[in-house]
Amino acid sequence: MKYVFGPVPSRRLGQSLGIDPIPLKTCNWNCVYCQLGRSKPLTNERRGYFPREEIKAEVKQALASHQPGEIDWVTLVGSGETTLHSSIGWMIRQVKSLTHLPVAVITNGTLLYLPEMRRELSPADAVLPSLDAGNARLYRKINRPHPEVSFKRLIDGLVAFRKVYQGKLWIEVMLVKGLNDTEAELKEIAAALKNIQPDEVHILQPTRPPAEIWVQPSDEGGLLRARAILGDIAKVIHPASGSFDLSGAGSLVDAVIGIITRHPMREDELLQALTGWSPGEVDAVLAELESSGRAQVIGRYGYRFWSAASAHYPHPINTSPQHRV
């Protein structure tokens, strides 16, 4: 399958069937922590990046090939910014016509200032936008946005969406050491959240290869500070453990490429996910993918991470064990 993957384990969404409607890595942000590397192109253009009918046909096929209970949520989550696809609202409605499973949208939230975007996302059961900064200066530093998506537009859009949205609004805060985990920055994020009134705030940490080599997850003190300052609705979300369903892939190569394009994976996690194939076959395929340049290995935090060949990391290899996650 080209656009549908998983189910993959998610701490918040159980076994989540993913729909990826955006080419790697098409985004209007270029977050320093992005696990998919730098944004190329950095764009704010909404259009039909992939044919929507083909996406719908794959969703239908994936739903039909799983038993009840194997999928908990259907999640729109792009290899870039999901809402840049001009048919995101159509896709949500189509998925809801195909299944009673709840639908989630993972987005950076930048386009919610547009009334049509608020309408398009309204039928989703959960929307998970990002808010990593409580002021424009830090926003530019962490998220490095396209000029059209200002901090003011982000906040205005989130506030306006909350006023009309009946589903679950779960805001994600990615905590980066030394950037947004200080008391002063967290207090500004808390003030912005007070205006927005989300149902929950999810504190995340970068655990997959960040675009920028200097990005580090916050420490225990930072997590405690974030919980205390962001209030009772904030919870720390640790990476999920569980099985990746790669049965939709036609071959071992397709399975590896399909998963690492959306989820760059630590080598040990990838090998774990591939236990359905013989170790000899897996070793041979990984060696061939690396030597031929069809996949790339990124060194971060002392680990080897497998990622798509076309992802842009300025410093691909750093294997010094600074921090183990």
Name the residues that contact ligand SF4, by CB under 6 A. 27, 29-31, 34, 36, 39, 80-81, 108
Residue 305 CB, nearest distance to ligand SF4 (Å)? Answer: 15
Q: Two tokens at 244?
A: 């990746």
Nearest to 261 by CA among 292, 296, 286: 296
CA distance 126 to 75: 9
Which DSSP category does 54 fall into? H
**Is 61 in a helix, a strand, or coil?**
helix
Residue 77 CB, nearest distance to ligand SF4 (Å)? Answer: 9
Nearer residue to ligand SF4 within complex by CB, 139 or 303 = 139
Convert 202-216 to b/e letters by CB count within 10 Å (16 or more is b). Answer: bbbbbbbbbbbbebb
Please, where are the H alpha helices in the chain? 52-64, 88-98, 115-121, 136-143, 151-164, 183-196, 220-230, 252-262, 267-273, 279-292
Phi, psi (degrees; rounded to nearest 5) at 116? -65, -30
Residue 262 CB, nearest distance to ligand SF4 (Å)? Answer: 10
Nearer residue to ligand SF4 within complex by CB, 109 or 258 = 109
Q: Note the residue count of the chain.
A: 325
Nearer residue to ligand SF4 within complex by CB, 34 or 62 = 34
Nearer residue to ligand SF4 within complex by CB, 176 or 270 = 176
Q: Residue 31 CA to chain centroid, in angstroms?
A: 11
CA distance 265 to 256: 10
Nearer residue to ligand SF4 within complex by CB, 110 or 282 = 110
Helices 151-164 and 183-196, packing angle to 10 deg: 40
Which DSSP category does 233 fall into? T
Helices 279-292 and 252-262, packing angle to 10 deg: 60
Nearer residue to ligand SF4 within complex by CB, 31 or 186 = 31
Residue 294 CB, nearest distance to ligand SF4 (Å)? Answer: 22
Nearer residue to ligand SF4 within complex by CB, 17 or 27 = 27
**Is 221 in a helix, a strand, or coil?**
helix
**């016509």: which residue's tokens?**
97
Residue 21 CB, nearest distance to ligand SF4 (Å)? Answer: 13
Residue 99 CB, nearest distance to ligand SF4 (Å)? Answer: 26
Evaluate the omega torsion of the peptide bond into residue 198 and state whether it is cis, within 30 degrees of 0.
no
Residue 307 CB, nearest distance to ligand SF4 (Å)? Answer: 13
Nearer residue to ligand SF4 within complex by CB, 27 or 274 = 27
Residue 173 CB, nearest distance to ligand SF4 (Å)? Answer: 12
